[in-house]
Homo-oligomer: A and B are copies of this chain.
Amino acid sequence: MGDKIHQLLESTPEVINVGLELFARAVRQQGGQVHEIEWKPPLVEPDQRALALFNDPTIAAANSEAVTRMMRAQPVVVDVARARDVIPGMTDRTFLHAGPPIDWDHASGPLRGALIGAMLFEGFASTPEEAMRKLESGFIELAPNHEHSAVGPMAGVISPSMPVYITVNANGTNRAYTNFNEGIGKVMRMGAYAPEVIDRLRWISEVLAPLIGQALRRSGGIDLRNIIAQALQMGDECHNRNKAATSLFYREIAPYLVECDAPASDIAAVLRFINSNDHFFVNLAMVAAKVMADAAHGIPGSSLVTTLSRNGTEFGIRVSGLGDHWFTAPANVPRGLFFPGFGPEDANPDIGDSTITETAGFGGFALAGAPAIVQFIGGTPADAVRATLEMYEITVAEHEIFRIPALDFRGTPVGIDLRAVIRTGILPFIDTGIAHREPGIGQVGAGVVRPPARCFTDAYQAFQQQYLAHHALTTDARREE
């Protein structure tokens, strides 16, 4: 015995470290060898009476049903129309926006900028100042896209006369809407509203969108899930890299555009506009994800996260089995790469509905398939692989259709389980565009971010409470039998 202690003190220590890297570092600094076991404490201490929910087969079954509906939803973009004419519950004075509900007073710079832009576009104001006064006075009703079957990147503002894509679920009954991509830099969705921004929106509304609508009707609809699946094998993750998906959409639609009843110069201009913007497809990737996520929403007992979204001030999530309630917390600020002339101090907190892509099992969750994206968002190709591998820890399935060649065609991690986020302490990984914090400027970079933990801890408290209530009722019912 004494010998063994002696031996232990004489030899170089070999240590197993569970959790905090701090302890491992101390041993390593003293020349010891450390085997690290990654472990984090759960995000909240679960109620002991509700511990069973982590292994409850009825929750697993509900999640399986939800994620299956998510994977099998088949979004097909079929047409283009005026927002007011097709989006349910929209009035002539409704402006939709990204993220959870918010009012003008709490809106961040880029959201304010985009709302001003929409006022000018709609002709509700002729100067930014007039637009601001009217917005302050409650002239416009603000409502989240997500509550109107819609999504929009960054500020995500959709005003009544803007054109929107109509996307149906060919394997279900739901549909979803989104606006048109304007390019990068000084664009309305990033909070810019200069005259050239409004002029571009007018051209989109008058020339590009009607032509794309005509072409889509001729085509009989374009299968977006199919395009996303191919693009994920061509270096896109279809959130911040849409170069392949934009190309494939362009390939599909160009012959129908050529056959449209329109001047060749307009058709060529539409093709050049798409060709000049590798992000053109992101709105379509998002509306596809929205169709998928909505198909998975509202399954009783399911802990699947069906919305991740941000309005530039708050991050909000919704859970399949918890109805339409938003669980919100102040949004984090992304870190990443900035365009020349801008830096971290210019970055607005996380903004946009585009996290619907991560919700549906691609975007940041498919980063392993998009190594070239690190030139845009920072990090290394190895980081990109790690991000995807980590997401398998908090998801309930590997996607049947979205597969990553570099991971031996493994399906992407899909279906975020609220319980797994709580148990592991791992928050969803998001890659995202970064808007300037002031209105009127636009995009300043791109990077990565995680949601605030509180969205998940609050959602978990609600889920746990519902579980306990349901369990109590069941027990009562059993007692009464």
Residues of A within 8 A of B (CB): 230, 233-236, 243-244, 247-248, 250-252, 254-259, 264-265, 267-269, 271-272, 274-275, 371-372, 374, 380-382, 405-406, 408-409
List of B residues within 8 angstroms of A244 by Cβ: 234-235, 244, 247
Q: What's the nearest-Cβ distance from chain B to residue A14, in Å? A: 22
12 pairs, CB–CB < 8 Å, chain A vs chain B: A230-B243, A233-B235, A234-B244, A234-B372, A247-B247, A247-B250, A252-B275, A255-B272, A258-B264, A258-B268, A381-B406, A406-B406
Residue of B nearest to A373 (CB): B405
Docked-complex contact B264 and A254, CB < 8 angstroms: no
Q: Classify the secondary structure of A's interface with B.
A: helix
A407–B256 Cα distance when bound, in Å, is 39
Given the interface pairs A244-B244, A381-B406, A406-B371, the reply to whether A250 lies near B254 with Cβ below 8 Å is yes
Report the Cα distance A258→B234, complex, angstroms. 27
- Expressed in whole angstroms, the Cα–Cα distance for A234 and B405 within the complex equals 12
Are A372 and B233 closer than 8 Å at their CB atoms? Answer: yes
Per assembly, the copies of the chain total 2
Q: How far is the CA of A230 from the CA of B272 in the complex (A)?
A: 18
Complex CA gap A265/B233 in Å reads 32
Q: Are A275 and B251 in contact (CB under 8 A)?
A: yes
CB neighbours (8 Å) of A371 from chain B are 405-406
Q: Which residue of chain B has the shortest Cβ distance to A252 in the bound complex?
A: B275
Q: Are B258 and A247 in contact (CB under 8 A)?
A: no
Collect the chain B residues with CB atoms within 8 Å of residue A405's CB: 235, 371-372, 374, 381
Which residues on the B side are within 8 Å of A372 (C-beta)? 233-234, 405
Complex CA–CA separation, A247 to B257 (angstroms): 16
Contacts of A374 in B (CB 8 A): 405
B258 to A251, Cβ gap below 8 A? no
Q: Could you say which of A235, A380, A408 has the most chain B C-beta atoms within 10 Å of its C-beta? A: A235
Contact residues in B for A254 (Cβ distance below 8 Å): 250, 254, 271, 275
**A265 contact set on B, CB distance < 8 A:** 259
Nearest CB in chain B to that of A233: its residue: B372
Q: Given that A235-B233, A406-B381 are known contacts, is A275 also in contact with B255, CB under 8 Å in the complex?
A: yes
A243 touches B250 (CB 8 A): no
For the complex formed, measure the closest distance between the CB of A380 and the CB atoms of chain B, giving whole angstroms. 7
For A230, the chain B residues whose CB sits under 8 A away are 243
Asked whether A268 and B255 contact (CB < 8 A) given A235-B405, A381-B405, A405-B371, the answer is: yes
Contacts of A248 in B (CB 8 A): 247
Which B-chain residue is minimally distant from A236 (CB atoms)?
A: B234
